[in-house]
């Protein structure tokens, strides 16, 4: 009868030397990365209701843990509300917000990671009055509470209502 493998905890990882940790299977290191990222997201105190679940106050990058699981930082930027044809398919802000987060989701999948591993993003919005609508769409895609800023910027290119100008996520090397 086969026995189930025990999952590694962060305490187990901390007790391992680098070579032992890096010898773990990809799936074990991949599961540990999620634990590392969850543990690294920090809040300075009680969050205002408008912030809970949307962002954390800071991300404490534990380089030793990340090295042990062979984590790679993926830096992205310039996500705009364009379709596959390079055109803006809608001037509706909510449709543009959805398209940008769909574009992010696709790009991260191609990069070998996911929106659940985003640790930081900076969002420019043409009209900050749509912040609430953007947050509604954001919450449908981003569940992991990265550090984040949403900044009003009237001079976005073309008809863009939103641009994610910088984003960091992690993945595990094979």
Termini Cα distance of the chain: 30
pTM to 2 decimals? Answer: 0.90
Residue in this structure with the two tokens 């300075």, named with its chain if needed: 44
pLDDT at 1: 46
Q: Under 8 Å CB-to-CB from 101, ≥6 apart: which residues?
A: 115, 137, 138, 140, 141, 142
Question: Average pLDDT for consecutive 10-residue bins of the chain (174 residues)?
Answer: 72 98 97 97 77 81 98 94 93 96 97 97 95 94 93 89 96 95
pLDDT at 3: 46
In the CATH hierarchy, which fold is given to the domain comprising 10-172?
60s Ribosomal Protein L30; Chain: A; (3.30.1330)
Q: Are strands 147-152 and 58-59 parallel, antiparallel or unpaired?
A: unpaired
């Amino acid at each position: 009868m086969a026995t189930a493998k025990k999952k590694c905890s962060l305490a187990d990882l901390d007790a391992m030397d680098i070579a032992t940790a890096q010898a773990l299977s990809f799936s074990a290191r991949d599961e540990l990365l999620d634990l590392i990222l969850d543990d690294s997201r920090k809040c300075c105190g009680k969050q205002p209701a408008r912030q809970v679940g949307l962002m954390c106050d800071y991300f404490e990058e534990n380089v030793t843990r990340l090295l042990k699981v062979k984590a790679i930082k993926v830096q992205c930027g310039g996500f705009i509300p364009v379709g596959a044809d390079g055109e803006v398919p809608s001037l509706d802000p909510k449709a543009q917000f959805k398209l940008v987060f769909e574009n992010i989701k696709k790009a991260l999948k191609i990069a070998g990671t996911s929106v659940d591993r985003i640790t930081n993003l900076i969002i420019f919005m043409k009209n900050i009055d749509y912040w609430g609508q953007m947050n509604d769409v954001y919450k449908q895609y981003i569940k992991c509470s990265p550090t984040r800023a949403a900044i009003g910027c009237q001079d976005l290119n073309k008809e863009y209502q939103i641009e994610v100008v910088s984003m960091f996520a992690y993945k595990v090397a094979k």
